[in-house]
Amino acid sequence: MTEWSFCSGIYGSAWATPQMRALFADSPRTKRWLDLLALLAEVQADHGIIPTDAAQDIKAACQSIEIDAQFLAECREGYETTGHSTAGLIAAVARRCSGSGREWFYFGATVQDITDTWLMLTLRDARGLLVADLERAIAATADLCRRHRDTIMTGRTHGQQGLPITFGFKAAGWLAELRRHRQRVDDAAKRLDVGQLCGGVGSLSAMGPRALAVQKQFLARLGLREPDMSWTASRDILTEWAHLLVLSTGTADRIGHEVYNLQRDEIGELREPSVMEGIGSITMPHKRNPEVAEHIGTLARVVRANAALLAECLVHDHERDGRSWKAEWHAIPELTMAAGKAYALLASVIEGVEVRTERMHANLEASGGSVLSERAMLALAPHIGKETARHLIQHLAASARREGRPFAALLAEEREICACLTKEQLDWLIAADAQVGHCQALVDRVLSTQ
């Protein structure tokens, strides 16, 4: 992380919520490491692996430490001097032990035991934050579906007007996708909430015959499962987490991008919530840019880039590989914070999005009726054949565009069509509200599914 982005005192709020950033910051992370090490000493003493008085000394020292600038400086100095991730921490705690604790602190465990266990606890907390905003987005999207079940607008394919739909139908597509991500989070949790206490090569050799009992008690006290096997070199679970966030922020990006596009002046069907003090442009005061919707896309790109890094790190040498493992120290906090911010922003956008129904109607009318071509073709098909009908309707639609005339007028003037269809049938063909297919039924189906 750089001073420019995630940990910037000025710009940091753009990249992570305060709650999510607090999970990964130096002070709370170090405090949790100390809590884990104090608990480890306590459990080891219960099983006779270290002396009870040493465990009490370690616990007292860990609990008494204030994670201030001085303590963090000691940890940093120890790291910079030795190149070992926790040597500075070990030395700083040992200096604060008053008895035999300094000889038994961090006994039998390796750095990855503590950092992996801390990471699973932290991702559990992060998951709770992300789910809260995901559920906000789900609730707000469901409300959009209900309110705009019958709001007719143009459906677009390849960036062009296609057929009439309802805005509720569009939102229902978002809702179904968001709900799938909610299910995926719960499913991933079954694999994520697993601890690590396996020692140097994963064999728990340092803690003797009581090692498995120590592991079980230590992780149970934290609400984590025992691993079936050491996962110091098996990082599939963390890569799954990353790619779950790729999927979910991809949806956030898709929704944000739709708001971004539909806010274009030429379309103007949606607007993200306005901010009274918001500035669209320093030099163009009239602008109201979709800043939030746009930034969701930036955050989603950060997630995808870091997930790709983790995919590269699936391959480890032997039982432990610092190259692949330490890349996680950068990638996992950054992609998790970016995803959390993306969902906080998405929820706020959906909750406050301005739906401009008059512009939806105007844009539908601006097609001159050509978006109704499918129904005309299908109505003619039984009389003159589907391909013949397609060629005829395509010709009329092109003529309408070229001449600047309403498509409906050309339909009514075409003798071959008038020979097949009555005036009442023609009127029915050009009624936009009759041409949204099963949009409302599909909205109802999505809303009825939990």
What does the DSSP 8-state code read for residue 274? P
8 Å CB contact between 269 and 153: yes
| Burial call 414-429: b when 16+ CB within 10 Å, e when fewer | beebeebbeeeebeeb
**Given 203, 205, 281, 399, the catalytic residue:** 281
Separation CA 19–CA 128 (nearest Å)? 11
- Residue 281 annotated as catalytic: yes
Tokens of 425: 């049938």
The amino acid at residue 296 is I
Distances in Å between the alpha carbon of 203 and those of 84, 108, 207, 213, 230?
22, 11, 10, 14, 8
Q: How far apart are CA 141 and CA 162, in angstroms?
A: 23
Q: Which of 342, 139, 163 is nearest to 248 (CA)?
A: 342
| Rounded distance between C-alpha atoms, residue 413 and residue 418, angstroms | 7
Identify the DSSP state of 436: S
Q: How many CA atoms lie within 13 A of 234 on its CB side?
A: 14
Catalytic residue list contains 158: yes
Q: Which residues are catalytic?
A: 158, 281
